[in-house]
Structure 1
Amino acid sequence: MGLAEGTTEFLMTLDLKLSNNQYTTVISANAQMSDADNDVSEQFFFNLDHVLTNTCKEDKIILLGDFNARVGHDLELWSGTIGKEGAGKATSNGILLLSKCSEYSLVITNTIFRWSDRNKTTWKHARFKHWHLLDYVIVRAHD
């Protein structure tokens, strides 16, 4: 097992040895609020890009955390990246996340399986009382 590497205050990686030359890279993410400065969101996704670029192509990836992003349910546009069970309308952070997942052939697993809204959503807006899906588990599409 490798040591956790603090990439930034919002991203951390951990390399786990599975067998001979097989590794899984676990990436923990905690993005800024979606109403944060656009530069902050773009910097987060720039740093995520750096982590994904430097992950061995043969490694399995488990990317998980709070992305403060809604990815919506546009299966036609994001086929292969999301499944039929997305929720809500995509936000700007959601589009950035979808683009990054598409670029690296990653799939957002939360959108594949049918769950009740109570079990699918992860955050409730305090004022409007709406529930949203903001936390994701993401893996390579071929895994």
Structure 2
Amino acid sequence: MSTEVKLSQSTAIRLEQARTKGMSDADILKAIQANDVAAFDAVSEEDYRYDEFLSYAADHGENLEVAVQDGYRITFNTRGGLGIYLEKAFGVVAEKDFAVGEGIITGLKLKPEQAEVLAERLASNWVITESKDVPEGKVLTLKLRALV
């Protein structure tokens, strides 16, 4: 990625929710290019709707097309938002696949390729402080940068 695309945590959560719920990158790109919010109706959830997904991204200079095609970095992760993002992006479940504490996430089990994607997308206010290889992949510890 030559120019890193930045997405808000909210935009990133919605993008990953669309992917997880079965929208292909091609379908997402088609909806973005057509400015078709209704294309996301099938992947919308009560707490994560798409009503302002495209307009918010446009208003805040978030290049969704490049983010879908080449990746992105989240601008800022809150503790709770990071937990939700991990669930949407990687299909893991808080308190089952990882534990969330004050400024720390421990025991996060991901496949090696998922750990690489997380390292590319994680906001700079968080860091991966530990990565342990296990037969299933990696077990990560994430900490708020301010606590490292």
Report the TM range for the smaller structure's normalisation: under 0.3
Structure with bigger helix share is 2
Q: TM-score, normalised by structure 1?
A: 0.26
Structure with bigger strand share is 1
